[in-house]
A and B are shown apart, each in its own frame.
Chain A
Amino acid sequence: DIQMTQSPSSVSASVGDRVTITCRASQGISSWLAWYQQKPGKAPKLLIYAASSLHSGVPSRFSGSGSGTDFTLTISSLQPEDFATYYCHQANSFPITFGQGTRLEIK
Chain B
Amino acid sequence: QLQLQESGPGLVKPSETVSLSCTVSGGSISSSTYHWGWIRQPPGKGLEWIGSSYYSGSTYYNPSLKSRVTISVDTSKNQFSLKLSSVTAADTAVYYCATYSGSEGNFEYWGQGTLVTVSS
Residues of chain A having any CB pair with chain B under 8 Å: 1, 32-34, 36, 42-46, 49-50, 53, 55, 87, 89, 91-92, 94-101
CB contacts between A and B, total, < 8 Å: 59
The segment out of B18-26, B70-78, B84-92, B102-110 that lies at the interface is: B102-110
CB–CB B111/A100 < 8 A: no
A and B contact pairs by CB, cutoff 8 A, 14 listed:
A32-B105, A36-B107, A43-B111, A43-B112, A44-B47, A44-B110, A46-B107, A50-B104, A55-B108, A95-B61, A96-B62, A98-B46, A98-B48, A101-B46
Closest to B110 in A: A43
Do A89 and B113 touch (CB < 8 A)? no
Chain A residue at smallest Cβ distance from B105 = A91
Q: Please, how many angstroms separate the alpha-carbon atoms of A85 and B94 in the complex? A: 16
A96 to B96, CA, bound (A): 15
By Cβ-Cβ distance, the 6 closest A-B pairs, closest first, are A91-B105, A43-B110, A49-B106, A96-B49, A34-B106, A98-B47
Distance of A44 from chain B, by nearest CB (Å): 6
Bound CA–CA A49/B104 (angstroms): 7
Cβ of B63 within 8 Å of any chain A Cβ, yes or no, is yes
Q: Is the CB of A34 within 8 A of B49?
A: no
- Residues from chain A with Cβ under 8 Å of B96 in the complex: 43-44
Q: Report yes or no: B108 in contact with A46, Cβ–Cβ below 8 A.
A: yes
